[in-house]
């Protein structure tokens, strides 16, 4: 059926003024100005002049839970569907982290499929921190080619929990992922958890300078601790991902610093939701641990706008247009345009996420979550 959103202050993410948005069969059928449309059963939503933005994209989510660095009791619970809705996220990428022993690629793929069934768009990465990469089919390339939701691989570098992958091993992995992406029409990405080792991004900078592998295939993340190195990589054509973390103000400060140093359209933001956030002492000993929350994603965007003075239409790009282009799903995702997926958030008077629509289905109305996971109370 049809849904017509009237009197919306539309951000595509560029502001185009107050107008209407017509949704049909999970897509945007028309946008802008007053839409003259009437059909029996059409749902009318009056946005009353409030901002409407694309649904958020979170490209780094531990959908099956992360953690484990402090023993079995520190394993973070898996993501609940209502957490996604509350955070305003309509598209995400699931992945594993430190623990690929008590967590599995099989479970990850199953959870990703479940999230798609529940009402959002979910992709995933094979692999984990370790190398060789754990897979479902036996090879990273086959996971990407034959599993619809799988778009790349996860690996850790510059971290004491990594496998300390060699230059040649990373070249071979990236080459396999690149070819698999070409064969399956996927972005073929190597998402790199990047720790605090002084080597930072040296390994991938060396590879893109000395091999024909394009920078776009390497996706380093958690880059708030190395903004200068991240900016240098972005200038080489790579995408750089920052983590919203526990302190949205501090994360927004790092994002603004990156915007001053790197090409803006290469900057993305993700939440690391349901992953552990360990605190390490001077000898890499664990001194504390918490879990990341998906709501930090939009909280960081608001801090970027309110505290750092970034115009709202620009502040939302790292979680809409920029990341959609990085994942090669733009303009299907990350914008409000005719033909795009009907993934939208209607904001409240204080710019809070009040309504959420994914694939044309209303998941949240005036902050009331309408759709939850099967076993959520």
- Which residues is 22 bridged to in the sheet? 4, 30
Residue carrying structure tokens 């939302």: 316
| Dihedral angle sign, alpha carbons of residues 14, 20, 24, 26 | positive
Residues of the chain with pLDDT under 70: none
DSSP 147: -
**Catalytic residue from among 20, 143, 241, 272:** 272
Q: Which two tokens stand for residue 212?
A: 């024909």
159-191 pLDDT, tens digit each? 999 999 999 999 999 999 999 999 999 999 999
Q: Given the DSSP bridges, would you call strands 353-358 and 361-365 parallel, antiparallel or unpaired?
A: antiparallel
> Residue 190 has what pLDDT?
98
Q: Given the DSSP bridges, would you call strands 189-194 and 2-11 parallel, antiparallel or unpaired?
A: unpaired
> Residue 289 has what pLDDT?
79
| Dihedral angle sign, alpha carbons of residues 233, 325, 189, 301 | positive
The whole-angstrom separation of Cα 308 and Cα 298 is: 14
DSSP 72: G
212-267 pLDDT, tens digit each? 999 999 999 999 999 999 999 999 999 999 999 889 999 999 999 999 999 999 99
Domain boundaries, the chain: 2-54+335-367, 56-326
The CATH label, of 3.40.50.800, 1.20.120.10, 3.20.20.140, 3.40.50.300, for the domain at 56-326 is 3.20.20.140
As a CATH number, domain 2-54+335-367 is 2.30.40.10
Q: Given the DSSP bridges, would you call strands 51-54 and 89-94 parallel, antiparallel or unpaired?
A: unpaired
> Residue 377 has what pLDDT?
83
Active site residue 272: yes
Q: pTM, whole model, 2 decimals?
A: 0.96
Cis peptide before 132 (omega within 30 of 0): yes
DSSP 238: -
SS3 assignment, position 83: helix
């Amino acid at each position: 059926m049809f849904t017509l959103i009237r009197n919306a202050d539309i951000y595509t993410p560029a502001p185009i003024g107050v107008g209407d948005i017509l949704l049909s069969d999970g897509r945007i059928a028309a946008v802008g100005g007053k839409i003259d449309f009437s059909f029996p059963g059409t749902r009318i939503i009056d946005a009353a002049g409030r901002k409407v933005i694309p649904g958020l994209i979170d490209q780094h989510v531990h959908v099956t839970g992360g953690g484990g660095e402090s023993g079995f009791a520190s394993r973070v619970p898996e993501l609940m569907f209502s957490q996604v809705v509350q955070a305003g996220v309509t598209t995400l990428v699931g992945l594993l982290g430190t623990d690929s022993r008590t967590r599995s690629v099989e479970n990850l793929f199953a959870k990703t499929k479940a999230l798609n069934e529940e009402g959002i768009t979910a992709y995933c990465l094979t692999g984990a921190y370790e190398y060789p990469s754990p897979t479902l089919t036996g090879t990273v390339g086959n996971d990407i080619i034959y599993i619809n939701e799988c778009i790349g691989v996860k690996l850790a570098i510059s971290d004491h929990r990594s496998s300390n992958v060699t230059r040649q091993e990373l070249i071979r992995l990236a080459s396999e992922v690149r070819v698999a992406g070409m064969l399956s029409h996927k972005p073929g990405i190597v998402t790199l958890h990047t720790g605090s080792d002084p080597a930072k991004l040296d390994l991938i900078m060396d590879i893109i300078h000395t091999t024909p592998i394009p920078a776009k295939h390497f996706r380093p993340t958690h880059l708030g601790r190395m903004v200068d190195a991240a900016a240098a990589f972005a200038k080489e054509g790579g995408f750089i991902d920052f983590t919203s973390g526990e302190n949205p103000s501090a994360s927004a400060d790092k994002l603004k610093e990156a915007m001053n140093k790197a090409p803006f359209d290469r900057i993305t933001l993700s939440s690391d939701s349901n992953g552990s956030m360990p605190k390490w002492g001077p000898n890499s000993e664990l001194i504390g641990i918490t879990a990341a929350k998906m709501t930090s994603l939009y909280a960081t965007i608001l801090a970027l706008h309110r505290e750092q003075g970034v115009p709202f239409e620009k502040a939302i790009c790292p979680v809409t247009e920029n990341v959609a282009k990085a994942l090669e799903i733009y303009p299907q995702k990350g914008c409000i345009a005719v033909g795009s997926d009907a993934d939208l958030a209607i904001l409240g008077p204080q710019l809070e996420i009040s309504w959420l629509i994914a694939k044309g289905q209303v998941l949240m109305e005036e902050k009331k979550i309408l759709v939850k996971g099967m076993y959520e109370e």
